[in-house]
A = this chain, B = another copy of it.
Amino acid sequence: MAQHSHTHVIDEDMEAEIALRLRKADQRFTPARRALVAALVAAKGPMAIADILLVTEKMPQSSVYRNLTVLESVGVVSRLMSNDEYGRFELSENLIGHHHHLICQQCGAMSDFNIPHDMEQQLDSTLAQLASANGFTLEHHRLDIVGKCSACK
């Protein structure tokens, strides 16, 4: 499992793993997809489409959307929602590690953070019990801090 920090580490292992997952689905690791992965690797949190378009200037919106959908379908990226209605994308947790998000309720931006291991484990076991008590099959949990980022306050 990759270690998580403020920006993500792009290493050959990850590169190879991504290529493998695409290949398994008969998909290619094209320049456009590399650019998208690179953008997400460089980010310190999930990116909105608008953010991505700023970084991948030449790429048409439809290509961004379609390639992110492909990358999501092969488990390379995850699509998640912030407080606003725009979808955001990040590298899958199985590539960059489990983490949580700071959500700015003003601008909707998300950035990553971690909680202590012991609290994470305590949370996991408690939530597992609560899920089954509610007839729910737990897949994972989501813990966000909602507030104002330094830029917005």
Contacts of A30 in B (CB 8 A): none
Q: Does A113 lie at the interface of the complex (its beta carbon under 8 Å from any beta carbon of B)? A: yes
B119 touches A131 (CB 8 A): no
> A145: which of B83, B141, B146, B153 is its contact (CB, 8 Å)?
B141
Contacts of A62 in B (CB 8 A): none
Contacts of A85 in B (CB 8 A): 81, 85, 87
Contacts of A80 in B (CB 8 A): 83
Q: Does A107 lie at the interface of the complex (its beta carbon under 8 Å from any beta carbon of B)? A: no
Whose C-beta in chain B lies nearest to the C-beta of A104? B136
Contacts of A55 in B (CB 8 A): none
Contacts of A136 in B (CB 8 A): 102, 104, 145, 147-150
Whose C-beta in chain B lies nearest to the C-beta of A105? B139
B134 touches A138 (CB 8 A): no
B116 touches A131 (CB 8 A): no
Q: Does A143 lie at the interface of the complex (its beta carbon under 8 Å from any beta carbon of B)? A: yes
A39-64 near B? 1/0 per residue, CB < 8 Å: 00000000000000000000000000
Residues of A within 8 A of B (CB): 80-85, 87, 102-105, 111, 113, 115-116, 119, 122-123, 126-127, 130-131, 134-150, 153
